[in-house]
Amino acid sequence: MVRYVCRRCDRRMGEYQGDWRDPALGLTRLNLTDQEEFLDWDDRGDATVKILCDHCLPVPWDENLWYN
C-alpha cells in the first residue's frame, strides 16, 4: 500500500492499495536521494509518500509548476 501525506502538515491525502513499485506511480524512477527524501517505509513494506498538499504549497498553483 502507498499512502500520500503532506510533509508539512501531515494531512492524509490518499492511498493506493497496490505496490509502491507499480510503474504507473513512477516512484521507482526517483533516484536514491529523492527516494530517501520523499518516501518512508514501514515494517510491512508499505510506503508513505511525503508531498505538499494544496494548502501548504508555498505559492499559488500554476499549471506550469509541477513540483511538490
- pLDDT tens column, 15-31: 999 999 999 999 999 99
pLDDT at 34: 92
Residue 59 is assigned to a structural domain of this protein: no
- pLDDT at residue 68, rounded to an integer: 47
| CA 51 – CA 7 distance, rounded (Å) | 5
12 is a domain residue: yes
Give domain status of residue 43, yes or no: yes
d(CA 47, CA 35): 10
The pTM (predicted TM-score) of the whole model is: 0.76
Residue-wise pLDDT for 45-56, tens only, equals 899 999 988 888
Query: Is residue 63's pLDDT more than 60?
Result: no
Domain that holds residue 42: 2-51
- Which three three-digit cell numbers place residue 68? 511538490
The mean pLDDT value for 46-68 works out to: 73
Number of domains the chain contains: 1
